[in-house]
Amino acid sequence: MANGVLFEVDGPVATITLNRPEVGNALDIPMSRELMELAIRCEGDAAIRCVVLTGAGKLFCGGGDMAAFAAAGEALPEFLREITTYLHSAISVFARMDKPLVTAINGSTAGAGIGLAILGDIALAEPTASFSLAYTGIGLTPDGGATWLLPRLIGLRRAQELCLTNRKVRAEEAASLGLVTRVVEAGTLAAETAKVAGDLAKGATAALGATRKMLVESTSNTLESQLQLESRVISDQSRNYEGQEGVTAFLEKRAPRFLKED
């Protein structure tokens, strides 16, 4: 891997860090490709039970690399098709993998960074974090899953405002809207993220992964379809180690040990 994205595994937790702080972690094609490759790696590694996504420096992600856009010249349409192919593949894998994603939003984010920031099952933000779509301000349209995620997280009416006006949303408002889970105290983002990710990694990963999928499917299923899905999934979960260990631990009045020892 190049240095555009850093990757570290500490026990069952993998941390992916956007690492172009000199340009606000703006996304170019190599960086987007790395992100896709790391998403696939995290999805396929059974030893990884939780993934953290954050940024280096003062920004989480400033969106697409405008210098790279300009350098593409007349080939910009092809450039955008390529970069979004990699980025969207990464987002799709992150959203559907059988393990939770925690996003640690260390500063301002814009454009494509929005989709990455709000993708987390748990999205933690520094008080200095802010969010701006910014696309229509340069005559382009949202990508990075923003038009799918925003209406589901904050409602269509608010999504319309943010996408069409590019209004900056600061951290506390983002939390009140449901754009992020919560704002942490200044200087505690790394510690809070480590705690949340560590707790999730010790949890029932199969159940967490199945729950993630059911929540996503709920927006397109009828009530009856969702009820049938819930019935099937909870039955399946009871057959595996985690389900059996959880029930046994409850009856024995002890903490469950979901991380199965070899």
Active-site annotation holder among 65, 88, 98, 199? 88
Residues 43, 101 contacting (CB under 8 angstroms): no
What does the alpha-carbon distance between residue 139 and residue 122 come to, in Å, rounded to a whole number?
A: 31
Q: Determine whether 143 is an active site residue.
A: yes
Active-site annotation holder among 28, 65, 121, 143? 143
What are the residue numbers of the active site?
Answer: 88, 143
